[in-house]
Structure 1
Amino acid sequence: MNFVSKLMSSLRASLVTVCAALPLIGFAQAPAAVKLGVIGPFTGASSDFGKPLLQGIQLAVDEINAVGGYLGRPLELVVRDDQGTPDVGLKAAHELLDAGVVGTIGFCNTGVAQKSLEVFQNAKSPLIIPCATGTPLTSKYPAAESYIFRTSARDSIQAPFVVNDLVKRGWTKVAIFADTTGYGEAGLKDVEAALSAHQLRPVNVTRFPLGVTDLREQLKVARDAGANVVFSYTVGPENAAIANGRRDLGWKVPQVGAWPLSFPFFIDGAREAADGALMAQTFIAEPSNERRAAFLSAYARKWGGRMVVPMAAAQGYDAVYLFTYALLGIRDGKLGGPAMKTALENIPRVYYGVVATYERPFSKDDKDALTANMLVMGKVQGGGITFAYPEDARRNLIVQRKK
């Protein structure tokens, strides 16, 4: 029995347990669908990770519906495209709540998410963030009151993870290149804090707007300041502009960063200049164990082609299963926002996921499912992402639990 079969068997067993505890009422009519909101950048500049996010979510929903959904009620996705734009995302957030969703999985861009958090919090409607990593997203509200959950690795654990690697390698003269979005602003603060923990300061900090295509002059300043590594914090083609600028200047220093260095905008946009770049990863698309092999196989069967941002697909997939496991903790069928929040904070069963083994991933005091031990260092090599260290590949045979 492979991973997907085991997972579906586990869900069937959970459904049988829940159904046995319920009175037999209202089952003569076809059960109404459980509406799950999905919001992300499915068109526009950030669609390269929005699309695989949606594909991972849809794959999980199809699997769950195949074994009965929630008490025989299928999950139904209500999808809205935020186009990577804060105002569009805000409008879409309101539309999802108006559509009667019982929870939402969404947001890839920190700045887009920031503008909409209040909508979900005020409506007491749970939001699980599967991609956006800006640290402030899950710290905006007091944890005990917050309806904002996350299955991506926040920047306050990604930045120290990468900085620790830099120090180990002796790359301590750091130039930071961060965009002027909410993502770049939060990431810059996290990198500076991580450096400070090692009694280090960046030798140069460069800020730039989205859309910039030439950063060679700024790179010259960083080079002249004595930098021996460039830490970039941006999500789009600007990462490639940094790599291509270093190549044009003949400045052979490494480029490191958070997970956007695994995006096609960087790898395809910089080509050979991207090789060797290092970044934090929660999931690398290699069949390192049964769970991940089964997920990769199921994804390929359904969608075919290249999984362009594997982390987005895997984290979205896991978010759906966590949402469903929470649903199965609600035995009276009353799926109001406060009940859903409590259920997410008290998921009764371990979910053996693709990114992690989720045992009590959320609690009243902690809304982030991932911890630093789940990260590995990825490396761009030959147009793809692989493990930077052989020991990480070996460690990845065991899916990590939260610490």
Structure 2
Amino acid sequence: MTEVRMKRIVTLFFCLCLVAGMTAGCQKKAGEVIKIGVVGPMTGDQSRFGTDFKNGVTLATEQWNEKGGLLGKKIELVIGDDQHDPKQAVSVANKLINEGAAGIIGHFNSSCSIPASEVYNRASVPMISPASTNPELTQKGYKGTFRVCGRDDQQGGVAAAFVLSKLKLKKVAVIHDKTTYGQGLADEFKKALAGKVDVVYYGGIVQGDKDFKGVLTSIREKSPELIFFGGIYPEMGLLVRQAKELGLKAPFMSGDGSYAEEFVKIAGDQAAEGTFLTFTPDPNNIPDAKDFITKYNAKFGKEGPYSIYAFDAANIMFTAIRDANTTDGKTVIGKLHSTEFNGAMGKIKLNENGDVTAPPYVVWVTKNGKFVETWKP
């Protein structure tokens, strides 16, 4: 064998060993972590909520990893941006499954969570949404689909009860953004008022549009005592601001999708004054939330409306995996259904459908640019 040929063989052998070592190293790395997907609108006009998700889950993950992680492995987050688009949500869901995610925290929008839940269900991977409120999400019979928020039939009922018992109104207008969440919430509100209050206007706008003066002019002619909007804060802010510009005196009311500081920034303090919103009670008044608030504020600054939901959702997922002593989806799903969890929002029990057993909703009002809790049923 010539010296040149011998050198080539040695070089080839060295390269093969190097590749084999790199492959083994990659496999070892993948086996040393437990991947958890975090999905929501990370970019675009609803990124406020995606940031809440990411930060809340990150805080929970760091706390678990400091104590050794899960099953002797570190937790690794895989962030997915669904851009609040249903098609993108399905694409991201498939990507997370292919990357080996053992559980999912997400999505935000019901229109994204519902189709994505079909992907996770086929793979037997549990998902917990911190924010999707449309009832259909947990009515499809998927055992691995959960949420830690309430439902629109509950939220719409609380909003209607406030209109009936506190405001004692007779005429309202109802607008929605034609999305699964927005129209669903508007319909539940309208249903709860049936036969008790005259709905003088009911119609939809297109999410992403900027000019709503045509719709608002039609509503002004009906002289409602309140305008209810089912949708998200970007459109809510514009509706409230433009209504003020048109001289409408009726206050606005909306749901948890509009509960964000950005709503007030878009509408302006003066126009937003007196707007009612349904959301959960103030975490600052919940004893179990104090530690979360202190640690979150120290790391990320002021918590967003869904930070605590994402934090609790992550802790519930991690606890279920720990108690199951495996990442096997079906086993983890069983633990999610059978365990009562101690969360920052208090005790959380998930029923056979995947809903929380005691979802609280209260009514907030905007005063001097801030949200103030004003009524509970």
Structure 2 equivalent of residue 146 of structure 1: 143
Structure 2 CA distance, aligned partners of 1:38 and 1:370?
Answer: 24
- Within-5 A mapping of 1:264-303: 264-271=261-268, 272-284=270-282, 287-303=284-300
Q: Deviations over 1:197-249 (max 9, x none)?
A: x6445221121101222222322322322310011011142101211122112
Are the aligned partners of 2:128 and 2:145 in contact in 1 as well (CA < 8 Å)? yes
Q: What is the count of residue pairs matched by the alignment?
A: 347
| Offset at residue 370 of structure 1 (A) | 5.4
- Within-5 A mapping of 1:161-180: 161-168=158-165, 169-180=167-178
Change in Cα spacing, 1:136 to 1:201, as seen in structure 2 (3 Å) is: farther
**3-state SS, counterpart of residue 237 of structure 1:** helix
What RMSD over aligned residues (CA atoms) do the two structures have, in Å? 2.1
User: Residue 363 of structure 2 aligns to which amino acid in structure 1?
Assistant: M
Structure 1 equivalent of residue 86 of structure 2: 86
Structure 2, unaligned runs of 5 or more: 1-27
* TM-score using structure 2 length: 0.86
4+ long deviations beyond 3 Å: 198-201
Structure 1 CA distance, aligned partners of 2:288 and 2:182?
Answer: 33
Structure 2 equivalent of residue 346 of structure 1: 338
Structure 1 CA distance, aligned partners of 2:84 and 2:152?
Answer: 19
Structure 1, unaligned runs of 5 or more: 1-28, 396-403
User: Residue 190 of structure 1 aligns to which amino acid in structure 2?
Assistant: E
| Offset at residue 289 of structure 1 (A) | 4.1
**3-state SS, counterpart of residue 323 of structure 2:** coil
Change in Cα spacing, 1:205 to 1:335, as seen in structure 2 (3 Å) is: same
Are the aligned partners of 1:42 and 1:81 in contact in 2 as well (CA < 8 Å)? yes
Structure 1 CA distance, aligned partners of 2:152 and 2:345?
Answer: 17
| Offset at residue 69 of structure 1 (A) | 2.3
Q: Which of 311, 316, 321 lines up with 1:322 in the alignment?
A: 316
Are the aligned partners of 1:378 and 1:385 in contact in 2 as well (CA < 8 Å)? yes
Structure 2 CA distance, aligned partners of 1:354 and 1:250?
Answer: 43
Q: Which of 218, 243, 257 lines up with 1:260 in the alignment?
A: 257
Change in Cα spacing, 1:370 to 1:280, as seen in structure 2 (3 Å) is: farther
**1:195 pairs with 2:193:** yes
- Within-5 A mapping of 1:17-36: 32-36=32-36
Structure 2 CA distance, aligned partners of 1:156 and 1:294?
Answer: 31
Are the aligned partners of 1:107 and 1:129 in contact in 2 as well (CA < 8 Å)? yes
**1:43 pairs with 2:43:** yes
Are the aligned partners of 1:261 and 1:277 in contact in 2 as well (CA < 8 Å)? no
Structure 2 equivalent of residue 235 of structure 1: 232
Structure 1 equivalent of residue 307 of structure 2: 313
Larger Rg: 2
Are the aligned partners of 1:178 and 1:184 in contact in 2 as well (CA < 8 Å)? yes
Structure 1 CA distance, aligned partners of 2:199 and 2:126?
Answer: 38
Q: Which of 221, 241, 245 lines up with 1:244 in the alignment?
A: 241
Structure 2 equivalent of residue 335 of structure 1: 327
| Offset at residue 283 of structure 1 (A) | 4.4
**1:355 pairs with 2:351:** no
Give me the identity figure in percent.
Answer: 25
Are the aligned partners of 2:288 and 2:345 in contact in 1 as well (CA < 8 Å)? no
Q: Deviations over 1:144-165 (max 9, x none)?
A: x432111122111110011100
Change in Cα spacing, 1:193 to 1:101, as seen in structure 2 (3 Å) is: same
